[in-house]
Each structure stands twice: as structure tokens, then as C-alpha cells.
Structure 1
Amino acid sequence: MRSHAVETPRVPGHDGAMRTAPGVPPWLAFADRALGLLVAVPAALLVLAEVVLLFWGVCARYAFHDPLVWGDELAAILFLWLAMTGAATALHRSAHMRMTALVNRASDDWRQRWDTVALVATMVFLGLIALPAYAYLKQQWMIVTPALEINDAWRVISILYATGCMLLMCLVKLLARGWRAALAGIVVSAVVVIGLELAGPVLQSLGNLNLLIFFVGVVGFTVLSGMPIAFSFGLAVFSYLALSTAMPLEIVVSRMDEGMSQLLLLAVPMFVFLGLLIEMTGMARAMIGFLASLLGHVRGGLSYVLVGAMYLVSGISGSKAADMAAVAPILFPEMKQRGEKPGELVALLSATGAQTETVPPSIVLITIGSVTGVSISALFTGGLLPGFVLAFALCMLVWWRSRARAPLSATRAGAGVIGKAFIAAIPALALPLVIRFAVVEGIATATEVSTVGIVYAALAGIFIYRRFDLRRLGPMLVETAALSGAILIIIGTATAMAWALTQSGFSHSLATFMEGLPGGAIGFMAVSIVMFVVLGSVLEGIPAIVLFGPLLFPIAREVGIHEVHYAMVVILSMGLGLFSPPFGVGYYGACAVSKIHPDEGVKPIIGYMIALLIGIVVIAAVPWISTGFLPTR
């Protein structure tokens, strides 16, 4: 799942743009490039180091029966560095999740103003968090790791390093707008901070009304202004604790560290990298070629191939952007030649993105398991059939829409062609089985198994498909780090926000309200579907899961809903919101991948969204679809 609301404030300097922007002083362009290298190079090397370390751990334990007792400890240290340098790389490369639907509708002048507001708000958060990060670093200075016996400060200092780099990046980008914009931004920031500080005594007297002010007002304003969602959450929780409570502010950094440092989440960068690798090695093309040889000659045949290909590729990569980027460029040219309208193509691509949210190893599945305590293996097992049910619903709609079309000119592939395509696709089709076998047989954990897939894909690319471009390896590592950092820092700041909401008593009030809904489990499930469709369109899946998962999953258990069943309904509901226009940012990601204007897909996508909603209702009504293949307790 790549972050679809991607873009930091649109200023010169992302991916080298500042170096060629007119009117930007050379020293600013140099500073921008230097700051990018200071985070991107170590981030890429850390991804590679984690792959090597995890795979080495698998080999040491399973092949040589000599486990690395210090392996998890070193992986945890490197992981926080990867998360923070990756987040800084994402800021430099415009890869943070943002809500840009409203900002993009503004005129150019107002868009620039809102971008400046978002940039300044990001600077405010980074500046305010620096001192608490230093205080937290001093707290961790006395802690020594048990296996490696090194100071935990070497892990935590990554937060301070990345925060400093990101703050300098924002300052460089603000200066690149001109001294007037920079001065105005600094003055506005100072006024806001001073105003809030002066309002502190009043805010402390308001009690839980502050939840509305900070977690609705501040979050709503900053998210709608285009501020990266991660920093919006962080600014809200920091302001809430600083101005309306007496709690030490190091707690914000501590909770961010807790959220980002769960080793289960190390699967996120590993599966992102695997997704990029299968596209680079040609494995995705081989799978799609086989499906096209089977169905390409029937009415709507390539649409069925698109649905099936997204299901298969998603089961390997876990990254929605990687899925769409692997499938669309291969199928869309031929589909257009056969008369498919561009709007229909992007609508179906978006629908398949929502359909495959539960197909393992989905990053959302990994996230939901890490924050709610649900077994990731159970989620992986339970996610296959719900994705298939939605695929069937989409295929039924494809059949209905294509039933009256004239016969296609494409000829049926012969047995020989299908056989050759199948043989070529066997290594690619076997990859999900290899991953599943490694987990079931105890060869690797859910975190480590991604490295087994990476090594398998690399060997298949080198020796079978003869496609392994070493020149692309560096950019792939950087892209993996940036995307992973954008995801992980959202988990960190959302964890801090969820903690603040829990401490305020909001979680207890929410639980009481949800438990009191009429209809028991049915009413709770219906409200959850509606709520997560809305949250999916506004916040995307991961922030919504981290915020509300720990609050709602215990309630689901209380009303008798199986946690895996509830997880599937929640994830698919968020996927429906994520890929539904006008606010669903995943839809715009599909448009960007397919290079089709968003307006063309708005009308065709309505039918697909209705089909998905019907499928979600069926999955919610029939728990067996999600739990039927789970081992009995």
C-alpha cells in the first residue's frame, strides 16, 4: 500500500526540483540536495542491512541451528533509524500522506498560501518536538541493551537526528519561496504559538472540551490545509498535552517511539521492497501474461485479468502502489486498443485496489495486527477469501457491462501459447506459496518471511527471468525507505494521539456509546462500516486503524464478533473509502499510475463501488468467509 495522498507542501526542492527552479539561490539548492543525501543514503543502506540481518537470522536458526541471540536487538536499533531517516527522506521527496482534495481545488495563489501554511505548521511541530526528544534521549541514556550491552541512546538519537534534518529541510524550502514568504511564515508561527501559550490557563479549565479543540479543530484544519497527516497528528497531541494538561512532553516522543519500534512493523519495508523487486525482475509481467493468455479473447477478458492480476500481485507485494504500477502499464495499452474507455479502466483499477486490501501480505493487515494484538498469521489466513468474494462481485459487474459488446478481434490463445505462458509464470506464481510455506513450517516468522521472498525473487530475476538491473537497486532502496518512513511515522504520532485519547477518558466514552447501540453486534458492525468508509476517505487506512483499532476491537469482542472477522470488514470498508472519489485519495493514486484524468473515472466507478459495498455487507453478514479457514481454538 503506497501512501496515496502523497505530497509534502509543493515547494521547489523535491527530487532535485529546487536545483533547476528559477530564482532559487545556488546555496539553497545545494543545501536541499545535501540534506536529502544526509537522510536518503543511510535510509537506503539501513533497508539493505535489515534484509541481510533478517535473512541471516533465518539461515542461522533454521539451517545451522545456531540462532542469533542479538539479532532482534540489532534489528530493533536499526529499525528506528530506518523509520526516522525514511520519514525525513519522505519529507524531502514529497512522499508523506496528505489530504490535498480541497487544496487542489483552490486557485494557484491560494494553493501557494495553503502550501506555506502547511509547511509552517510542519516546522512548528518539528521545532516544538526537538526539546522533548532531547529530554527523552537523556532518559534512555541509562538503559543498556541486554544482548549487545550498548546504550539505548544510540537507538533513540535517531529521532533527534531526523527531526533536525526535517526542520532544516522545511526551513530551506520556506526560504526558497522568498524572504517575504519566509518572514510571514515565521511571524504567523510565532503568533500562533504565543497565542496558544497565553490561552493555556483558559484551555486547562475547559476539560474534555479540549479534545474537540485539538483533535477535531487542529487536526481538521491542518489536514485540510495539506499538512502531512503524521505531523498533523503530532502537532495536535503535542499542543493538547502542553496547553491543557500538566503531563511531561517527553511522553509524546516516548509514545511515538513505542508505536514505531514494534518489530512486527519491520515487515512493512521488507514487503514494500519485495513489491518493487517483483516488478523489476519481470515476475509480475509473467503472471499477467499467463492470465491474459487464458482470458484475453473473451468479452471483457482483460478486465477479468486485471482483477485477477491485482489479487495475485497484491498477495506478493503488499503495496497498492506497487500493485497498480506493475499491472496498469502492461494491460492498459491493449485494453485501450480493444475499445475500453480510459474512465472505465481507472475505475476498475481503483476498485481492485480496494478489493485486495485484505490479501496478504497487506501492510494494513500487518499494522492492524501490531496495534490490536490480533495474530498476523490468522489475519493472513482470513484475508484471502474476503478478497476473493469482492473479486467475484467485480467480475459479475464486468460481465454485466460487457455482455452486449460486439465480439473482440483478439483470437483465442492456443494450448501451446497458454502452456508456454504458464511455464514462464510458474516461478512467479510459486512465490506466494513459498512465503506461506516458510511461515507454516516455522522456517521464518511473519517479519522474516519477507526476506525469504526477497531472496527468492532476486534469484528468479537473475537466473530465470534474466532481469535484474543493479542500477535500479539504489533508487528502489530509497523509495522503500521513504514509503516505509511515511507509514511508520504516522503509526508513531497516531499511537501518541490514541494514548492521549485513552488517558482523557474518551476511549471509555466511545466504548460505552458503541456498546449501547441498538441491534447488538449487527448495529455495531453497521456503524463500523459507515464510520470506516468515512475515515478511509479522509485519513487513509493506517492512521484510522492506529487511532481507532485499539478502541473498537475490544468492543467487537464484547458484543461477540470474532476479531479476524471484524478486521476484514473494517479493512475493506476503509479500502472502499480510500478509493472512492471525490475524497478517496487512493483513487487519485490510481489516476496518477494510469495517467488518466480523474474526471473520466468518476461516473464509471459508482457501479464498482456499489458492487464492493454489496460484497462487504455479505462478508459482514457471513463470518465464515473470514474465519472458516482459521484453526479451531
Structure 2
Amino acid sequence: MIWILVIVFILGLVLRFPIAFALGLACLSYLVVKGVPLIIVPMKMYSGIDVFVLLSVPGFILAGNLMNQGGLTEKIIKFCNHLLGHIRGGLSLVNIGASMLFAGISGTAISDTASMGSIMIPAMKKEGYDTDFSCAVTAASSTIGPIIPPSVPMIIAATLSGLSVGKLFLAGALPGLLLGVGLMFTAYFISKRKKYPKHKRSSLRDVAGSFVDTFWSLLMTFIILYGIVGGIFTPTEASIIAVVYAMIIGKFVYKKLNLKNTQVIVLDSMKTSASLMVLVGFANLFGYILITEQIPQEISKEILGFSDNKYVVLLLINMLLIVVGTFMETIAALLILFPILLKVAVAVDVDPIHFAVIAVLNLIIGLTTPPVGVCLFVASSIGKISIGAVSKAGLPFLLVSFLVLILVTLFPSLSLALPNLFID
């Protein structure tokens, strides 16, 4: 009977239904054929979204959109350009550096690709960078967003597992920085080989001035992280504080927000949040069906039957998540697979916080993996170039991402050092 669920879900994806609808239709088909009373649909959907920490997701989405439209992106790019523009291939480093800073505000890879790409890809093309390289750098660097806190996928992982949001935020910091530095070195060596341009070194006055302009937006990340980790406020309260802070900075400091564009931002954020909550609701129904059919137990049995070695199990899970991440959006994949695979990982003595970072990192790498990585499509559409060309140019960055994934998998301290240091 479970094959009805799988076939309808895959058919919905092939027909390009929104993934929430494909998931909902698959669940409905299964329940009808199985003869289960349909009252279970609203009950399970409501129980899926009736989680306090999920209230933080709309808040962080709105705060990120307010800061982005309020002039944050341009300020961050200007600061990074003064700091890194004098190095060979400086704009590619600026692209990555800006994504690392923007990650603390956005929290999602696709929004980073769209926001940074719309500015950086045309600028890089204008200065003589190859279009495929410009798009590849933008797509690759956007994967830092869901790792460096605050991170929407980390909030979802915490919701699904009961783990501490503060610990997950801290756990993603070092892997995110490691990924960013690795991408920077790769971009530098490619730029040096292709003799991409560099700018004149900026004066300390210019660097300091641009930092002051950027400081107020970066302060929000510190407030959010310190407040959650320090126990001053909950993630949900932090998201509302972030919204109020973003509105004040956008209105009175950067002076880019007004009543008209704020209304548009709020409406767009509502649409994004609503679609995400519908997905969470259907995913909970999907999970209920899987548990009813004892699918998690079967998957766990098969993986552990193959090997009970921790690293072999993590290798198998990594391979599965990379493939899934290539074809499925990060949040949807987390909702469906994370609770199942977490039980398998815990069974072989993998720390849940460590595994959450591994899972999120896997799935965001999938966003830049050919042939259907979503960030590749966004970047290629901005650069007006084929997805194949962007995929080829992005292979060196993809290899670095895989290397970081291997390091994070093999060395738990990369994920656990900060949570263990700051949170008992």
C-alpha cells in the first residue's frame, strides 16, 4: 500500500506540482485507498504546525526580507569590496564574503542566490569575469546561508527532534565558516589562473566607513545569537525582536523602508511563511503514514543490517541525502527524512546535534548539485546562461563542499565545540 504514496508523490513532482501539493495529494490518495477517515488530515496537519518554535520561522523570514529591502545587501557588498577587492579575483571573494555576512540575516540559500546574484553576477560580468564562473560562485556561496546562524533549516531540525535551537545555531557556525573559507581559496586560485581583475587597495578610512555602514545590520545577528544562547529570549521572541530591529534600521538608519514597500515585503513574507507551514503540515501527515507502515523501522533495520559501524552508517546516510537534496528542496527533505535518519544515527552513537549539522549540510550541497540543483537554476536564470555551463564551472566549488562535509562528518568537534563551550 505504501507504493501508492510513493508513486503519486513522484508523479506530482514529475508534473511539477508544488512539493507541498504533491505531498498532500500522495497522502490523500493513500488514505482514500486505505479507507482511513479523512478527519485525520486536519488533525495531523494541525499537530504538525502546533509547535511553538515554528512561530520563529515567519519572523526570521520577515526580518530577512526587511533587512534585504532596507539596503543591507548593498552595504554588505560595499564593505566586502573595500576589504577584499584588492585581491586577484576580488569580486568573487566579495561575493562569497558577502554571502557569509548575509547568511546571518537570510537563513536560506535560495534567497541568498537571488539577492546576491541580482547584484553580483551583472557586476562581475561587467568587470570581465566569465558568466559561468560568476554564476557558479554565487550559487556555491549561497549554501553558507542555511549553516551560519540564524538558520531556518536548523529551526526545522530542532522542531522535528526537540533539540535546542541555540545549540544547533552554534553548531553550524564553524562548519559554515570552514565552507566559506574553502570556497574563497578555490575562487582565488581560479581567478589567479584566469587572470581576473582586482581593484586598487582601499584606505583604512574607506574600510572603517563601510564597516560603520554595515555594523547596524550585522549587529542583528549578534543580538539574535547572544539572546538565544544566553537564555535572554526564546527563538520565537528573537524573531520578533529581529523584525522590530530590522524595521527601525531600515526606516531610520538606511532610510530605504517606507509604508508602501513595507506592505509588499510583509505580503511576500506571508506567502513564503504560509507555503512553508502547509508543507510542514503535510509532512507531518506523511510522517504519520510512514510510522503507521513501520517504514522508519524498516529503513533503520536495513541500514544497521548492512553495518553497525558509525562511519559506514554516516557514509550511507550522506550518499542518500546528497541524492535527495539534488532533487528535493531542503526543508521538504528535512521534514520527510530527518526524523527517520536521526534514529538510525543515534543507534550508532552519533550525537544528535552533530547529525543535524551533517543532514543540513548534505541537503544544501544538493542545491548546487547537477542536474536540478535549485540554486544553479536561479543563478543561471540571472546570468542568462545554460544550467550545464554553470554546473561545469561549479565543479571545483562542489568538490570543496564535499570535502567540508567529509571533515564535519569525521570530526564531530567541528560541530560540537561551540555548543559544548557556551551551553551546558
Smaller-chain TM-score bracket? over 0.9
Q: Which residue identity is paired with 1:582?
A: P
| Alpha carbons 2:103, 2:112 under 8 Å: kept | yes
CA offset at residue 401 of structure 1? 0.8
The alignment's TM-score, normalised by the length of structure 2, stands at 0.95
SS at match of 2:145: helix
- Whole-angstrom CA distance in 2 between matches of 1:232 and 1:283: 36
CA offset at residue 588 of structure 1? 1.1
CA offset at residue 409 of structure 1? 5.7
Matches within 5 A, 1:176-195: none
Is 1:343 aligned to residue 132 of structure 2? Answer: yes
Structure-2 change in CA distance of 1:508 and 1:519 (3 Å): closer
- Whole-angstrom CA distance in 2 between matches of 1:405 and 1:228: 41
SS at match of 1:282: helix
Is 1:624 aligned to residue 404 of structure 2? Answer: no
| Alpha carbons 1:353, 1:579 under 8 Å: kept | no
Structure-2 change in CA distance of 1:593 and 1:365 (3 Å): farther
Partner of 1:525: 314
Q: Which residue identity is paired with 2:321?
A: F
Partner of 2:287: 498
Partner of 2:171: 382
- Whole-angstrom CA distance in 1 between matches of 2:339 and 2:127: 48
Partner of 1:225: 15
- Whole-angstrom CA distance in 1 between matches of 2:46 and 2:383: 37
For residues 560-594 of structure 1, the C-alpha deviation after alignment (integer angstroms, 9 at most, x for no partner) is 11111111111111111122221222321233455
Matches within 5 A, 1:230-241: 230-241=20-31
Q: Which residue identity is paired with 2:333?
A: A
- Whole-angstrom CA distance in 1 between matches of 2:338 and 2:198: 50
| Alpha carbons 1:271, 1:319 under 8 Å: kept | no
| Alpha carbons 1:365, 1:376 under 8 Å: kept | yes
Q: Which moved more, 1:228-237 or 1:496-505?
A: 228-237
Matches within 5 A, 1:596-607: 596-607=385-396
SS at match of 1:392: helix
CA offset at residue 258 of structure 1? 1.1
CA offset at residue 215 of structure 1? 2.5
| Alpha carbons 2:58, 2:273 under 8 Å: kept | yes
- Whole-angstrom CA distance in 2 between matches of 1:380 and 1:622: 18
- Whole-angstrom CA distance in 1 between matches of 2:69 and 2:223: 19
CA offset at residue 405 of structure 1? 4.3
Is 1:568 aligned to residue 352 of structure 2? Answer: no
- Whole-angstrom CA distance in 2 between matches of 1:531 and 1:450: 32
CA offset at residue 602 of structure 1? 2.2
Aligned to 2:367, which of 575, 578, 590? 578
Aligned to 2:236, which of 447, 458, 461? 447
- Whole-angstrom CA distance in 1 between matches of 2:375 and 2:110: 9
SS at match of 1:400: helix
Partner of 1:459: 248
For residues 137-165 of structure 1, the C-alpha deviation after alignment (integer angstroms, 9 at most, x for no partner) is xxxxxxxxxxxxxxxxxxxxxxxxxxxxx
CA offset at residue 381 of structure 1? 0.8
Structure-2 change in CA distance of 1:407 and 1:248 (3 Å): closer
In terms of Rg, which structure is larger?
Answer: 1
- Whole-angstrom CA distance in 1 between matches of 2:229 and 2:300: 36
For residues 378-428 of structure 1, the C-alpha deviation after alignment (integer angstroms, 9 at most, x for no partner) is 111101111111112211211221223447362111122112112212212
Consecutive unaligned residues in structure 2, runs of 5 or more: none
- Whole-angstrom CA distance in 1 between matches of 2:398 and 2:143: 9
- Whole-angstrom CA distance in 1 between matches of 2:392 and 2:373: 14
Matches within 5 A, 1:464-479: 464-479=253-268
Aligned to 2:119, which of 323, 326, 330? 330
SS at match of 2:233: coil
Looking at secondary structure, tell me which structure has more helix per residue: 2
Q: Which moved more, 1:558-567 or 1:582-591?
A: 582-591
| Alpha carbons 1:324, 1:593 under 8 Å: kept | no
Partner of 1:354: 143
Matches within 5 A, 1:209-608: 210-212=1-3, 214-244=4-34, 246-406=35-195, 408=197, 410-518=199-307, 520-608=309-397
Structure-2 change in CA distance of 1:261 and 1:407 (3 Å): closer
- Whole-angstrom CA distance in 2 between matches of 1:369 and 1:427: 28
- Whole-angstrom CA distance in 2 between matches of 1:286 and 1:338: 20
| Alpha carbons 2:116, 2:138 under 8 Å: kept | no
CA offset at residue 622 of structure 1? 0.7
Q: Which residue identity is paired with 2:305?
A: G
- Whole-angstrom CA distance in 1 between matches of 2:107 and 2:363: 16
SS at match of 1:448: helix
- Whole-angstrom CA distance in 1 between matches of 2:32 and 2:111: 40
- Whole-angstrom CA distance in 2 between matches of 1:571 and 1:355: 11
Structure-2 change in CA distance of 1:440 and 1:620 (3 Å): closer
- Whole-angstrom CA distance in 1 between matches of 2:86 and 2:122: 15
CA offset at residue 613 of structure 1? 0.8
Q: Which residue identity is paired with 1:437?
A: Y
For residues 27-86 of structure 1, the C-alpha deviation after alignment (integer angstroms, 9 at most, x for no partner) is xxxxxxxxxxxxxxxxxxxxxxxxxxxxxxxxxxxxxxxxxxxxxxxxxxxxxxxxxxxx
- Whole-angstrom CA distance in 2 between matches of 1:276 and 1:509: 42
- Whole-angstrom CA distance in 1 between matches of 2:44 and 2:196: 60
Q: What is the aligned-residue RMSD (CA, Å)?
A: 1.8
Q: Which residue identity is paired with 1:239?
A: S
For residues 471-523 of structure 1, the C-alpha deviation after alignment (integer angstroms, 9 at most, x for no partner) is 11111111111111121111111111111111111111111112223261111
CA offset at residue 597 of structure 1? 4.2
- Whole-angstrom CA distance in 2 between matches of 1:255 and 1:289: 47
| Alpha carbons 2:112, 2:145 under 8 Å: kept | no
Q: Which residue identity is paired with 1:263?
A: F
SS at match of 1:450: helix
Higher relative contact order (CA 8 A, sep 6+): 2
Q: Which moved more, 1:372-381 or 1:592-601?
A: 592-601
Consecutive unaligned residues in structure 1, runs of 5 or more: 1-209
Q: Which residue identity is paired with 1:617?
A: I
> Percent identity over the alignment?
27
The alignment's TM-score, normalised by the length of structure 1, stands at 0.64
CA offset at residue 436 of structure 1? 1.8
Aligned residue-pair number: 422
Matches within 5 A, 1:127-142: none
- Whole-angstrom CA distance in 2 between matches of 1:593 and 1:366: 29
| Alpha carbons 1:427, 1:460 under 8 Å: kept | yes
CA offset at residue 438 of structure 1? 2.3
Structure-2 change in CA distance of 1:572 and 1:407 (3 Å): closer
SS at match of 1:357: coil
- Whole-angstrom CA distance in 1 between matches of 2:12 and 2:116: 34
For residues 527-578 of structure 1, the C-alpha deviation after alignment (integer angstroms, 9 at most, x for no partner) is 1111111111222111111111111112211101111111111111111112
SS at match of 2:36: coil
